[in-house]
A and B are shown apart, each in its own frame.
Chain A
Amino acid sequence: MIKLKDVSQPYFILWGSLLLSLAISLTDSISTAHAEEYPAYFSSRTYLGFYEDMYGNRYAPLYEYFEVEYNRPSNGMKFYSAGWLKYDFRTSGEKRTNSDLGLAYVTYSPPSDSNLVFNAGRHYVFEGVASEQIDGVSARWDFARNTGLSLYGGIPVETDKDGRDSDTIYGCRLFGRISGKAEAGVSFLREDNAGIRYREEIGLDLWAIPFRGIEIQGISSYNAITGGFIEHSYSAKAAVSRKITLRGFFVHSNYRDAFSSATLSVFSPDNIGINGKMTKSGISAEYLISEGIATTLNYTGYTYQTSGDARHYGARLHYKGTDIHAGGAFNRMEGDTARLRYTEMRLYTVKRLDKHNFSLDFITLRYDRPYNNMNIAYNLNGTAEYVINNNLSASLSIDKGRDPDYNHFTKVMLSLAYTFKGALSVQAGY
């Protein structure tokens, strides 16, 4: 069983160091003789929800999402932070509070070389095989024409199994490109858990436009611990004409290699099948009927090593006007097993007025085999928003529906959003 622990201590370290760097940044600006304006952004979104679970427990969670950004373009520095806090008014017997500091980092890019970027703090690293959230540092440098290197290292931010002592993550990506034509990268990632090798992945990624209107991209990643490929994932897109775009894709995954370092038991070999393999391939065609109206046809085939195959196909239509969005989709999953046979339909519309916005969203699923004597599930959402002023808006959202777990459910959400976008003007003397 996985034991979860909260990791609050690193938050203090992060907040401390990052707020310190922000303070230093501001102090430095105050010591200058002239006034300067620094772009700043702040947003707050507060949500209050009401719902009941399948056991009759009632919840009334309050969420506060915040986002802070402060720029000093003159010295190439930026501070950014985002996260949320939660308090549940109605839960009994469970933890009422929760929080997450999603991002808190400083970015520095020297004015003399904008091809060099440093990040420090809690931030994302998307580099080849790495799609990580880390407490640490990263750098990206296009050190030569069409060639560059990324490096990163720190402590991984993920579900904590056994404390963060001696947990480390580091890696790199070396890339080369032909400007506007192609880019290829070789990437490496190593993660240690409690000082023991936990993940070691190597990847090759590719992006290319070999001919005008044709775009190829993909990645192959290798698990150096299990000695097998995690996945090969490639796609090709072709703009047949100004109105028609075709996309084909191919994905092959080995479960043994892909799920070897999961922190959730459902991905363990006992549950998922250690010899499981999946190949997914398909094609989609998008046709731009006229300005703002497009339709997409799609087909995906699934082939499994240990169970029957499946096919997913359907169509989607969407319209985007100046103050209205509308669309719908119809899809069919046709699997060899009864569980994988169902029909899915969705319709939505959004109307934006000067001070009011309204939206409706209806999703329904019809299962060929009934579950709990029910084979039709649906969810209807209606949302109304009132824009109080340029910075402040309030909305009410109601969900109504049913599925095999719930005969009927209702969920209500109130939210208040505040956004500030402006500049911090610092006027100071000697």
Chain B
Amino acid sequence: MRYDEFRYLGIFLTALMALNHIYALPALSEEKRVSPNSHHFDLIEKPLCTECHMSDDSADLKPISSFNHSSDFISSHRFYAMQRSQICTVCHRASFCSDCHTNKSGLKPSDRYQGSPERWLPHRGNYLFQHRIDGSIDPTSCFRCHGRRNNKLCVKCHK
């Protein structure tokens, strides 16, 4: 797909959004948000009701499995974050992101939380040797965290 086609697709989608706004179906109610103060337990941020409840006007909670990120969630969490990072903040503080996403790395995330191996944090153990192999398998996965930031340690060898 060429750049022009990409641009036209963007314009088309924008127009689609506008139409969606104008002709929004009444049955699809707007997501309501409540004040954290009125909630029965302490919330970090303003939540979207349907993240936890079956519907906007229902106190019924979704089954616990809905909140349990599946084993592949680490690889797909960026999709959720890029569209609705406010949902993440309902349960996670901003520092949860900076455990891994940081400009300068102090301790590796897996070193900070050594007592929580069930979190499958990246680069467990002494990762120095294995990183050469992983880097050749998928350099784009390295680039997301170390391409433009968090690479001061890398420069010691990659001058």
Query: A183 to B87, alpha carbons, bound, how many Å?
Result: 14
Q: Are B136 and A348 in contact (CB under 8 A)?
A: no
Tell me the A245-274 residues at the B interface (CB within 8 Å): 245, 247, 249, 251, 253, 255, 258-259, 261-267, 272
Q: Are A131 and B78 in contact (CB under 8 A)?
A: yes
Q: Most B CB atoms within 10 A — which of A1, A39, A146, A335?
A: A146
Q: Are A133 and B81 in contact (CB under 8 A)?
A: no
B152 / chain A contacts, CB cutoff of 8 Å: 4, 159
Does A179 count as interface, using CB distance less than 8 angstroms?
yes
A65 / chain B contacts, CB cutoff of 8 Å: 106, 112
Within the complex, what minimum Cβ distance (angstroms) separates A384 from chain B?
Answer: 8
B98 / chain A contacts, CB cutoff of 8 Å: 82, 102-103, 124
Of the A-B pairs whose beta carbons lie under 8 Å apart in the complex, a sample of 13, sorted by A's number, is A128-B83, A131-B144, A174-B17, A176-B16, A183-B83, A227-B3, A235-B76, A264-B154, A310-B137, A316-B71, A325-B118, A327-B118, A405-B128
Q: A183-B84, A267-B143, A379-B126 are in contact. List 6 more A-B contacts (CB 8 A).
A: A2-B159, A133-B102, A247-B72, A335-B137, A360-B117, A379-B125
A403 / chain B contacts, CB cutoff of 8 Å: 126, 128-130
Choose the segment among A14-22, A26-34, A202-210 that binds chain B (4+ C-beta atoms closer than 8 Å).
Answer: A202-210
Instruction: Tell me which of B21, B30, B114, B138 contacts A381 (CB under 8 A).
Output: B114
Instruction: Tell me which of A131, A146, A286, A397 contacts B115 (CB under 8 A).
Output: A397
Query: A207 to B85, alpha carbons, bound, how many Å?
Result: 13
Residues of B within 8 A of A (CB): 1, 3, 6, 9-10, 13-14, 16-18, 20-21, 24, 28-31, 33, 35-37, 42, 46, 50, 65, 70-72, 75-76, 78-86, 93-95, 97-98, 101-104, 106-107, 111-112, 114-118, 124-126, 128-130, 133, 135-140, 143-144, 146-152, 154-155, 158-159
Q: Are B17 and A184 in contact (CB under 8 A)?
A: yes
A133-B147 contact, Cβ under 8 Å, with A39-B42, A296-B72: no
Q: Are A264 and B72 in contact (CB under 8 A)?
A: no
A98-B147 contact, Cβ under 8 Å, with A65-B112, A253-B140, A286-B72: no
A4 / chain B contacts, CB cutoff of 8 Å: 152, 155
Instruction: Tell me which of B70, B103, B115 contacts A350 (CB under 8 A).
Output: B115
A1 / chain B contacts, CB cutoff of 8 Å: 159
Q: Are B71 and A339 in contact (CB under 8 A)?
A: no
A205-B9 contact, Cβ under 8 Å, with A385-B115, A403-B130: no
Q: Are B147 and A217 in contact (CB under 8 A)?
A: no
A294 / chain B contacts, CB cutoff of 8 Å: 70-71
Q: Are B118 and A185 in contact (CB under 8 A)?
A: no
Query: A397 to B54, alpha carbons, bound, how many Å?
Result: 42
B159 / chain A contacts, CB cutoff of 8 Å: 1-2, 265
Q: Are B106 and A63 in contact (CB under 8 A)?
A: yes
Does A58 count as interface, using CB distance less than 8 angstroms?
no
A310, closest chain B residue (CB): B137
Q: Are B76 and A217 in contact (CB under 8 A)?
A: yes
Q: Are A381 and B117 in contact (CB under 8 A)?
A: yes
**Residue-wise interface mask of A (301-344) relative to B, using a CB-CB cutoff of 8 A (1 in contact, 0 not):** 01000000010100010101000010100000101000110100
Query: A220 to B7, alpha carbons, bound, how many Å?
Result: 12
Instruction: Tell me which of A114, A158, A361 contacts B103 (CB under 8 A).
Output: A158
Q: Are A339 and B136 in contact (CB under 8 A)?
A: yes
Does A224 count as interface, using CB distance less than 8 angstroms?
yes
Query: A362 to B91, alpha carbons, bound, how many Å?
Result: 30
Q: Are A181 and B28 in contact (CB under 8 A)?
A: yes
Instruction: Tell me which of A333, A359, A365 contacts B137 (CB under 8 A).
Output: A333
Q: Are A67 and B118 in contact (CB under 8 A)?
A: no
Query: A413 to B115, alpha carbons, bound, how many Å?
Result: 11
Instruction: Tell me which of B13, B75, B97, B112 contacts A47 (CB under 8 A).
Output: B112
Instruction: Tell me which of B29, B85, B139 contacts A267 (CB under 8 A).
Output: B139
Within the complex, what minimum Cβ distance (angstroms) separates A235 from chain B?
Answer: 6
A145 / chain B contacts, CB cutoff of 8 Å: 21, 24, 30
B124 / chain A contacts, CB cutoff of 8 Å: 361, 363, 379, 381
Does A96 count as interface, using CB distance less than 8 angstroms?
no
Does A89 count as interface, using CB distance less than 8 angstroms?
no
Query: A140 to B89, alpha carbons, bound, how many Å?
Result: 14
A41 / chain B contacts, CB cutoff of 8 Å: 93
A114-B106 contact, Cβ under 8 Å, with A350-B118, A361-B124, A363-B124: no
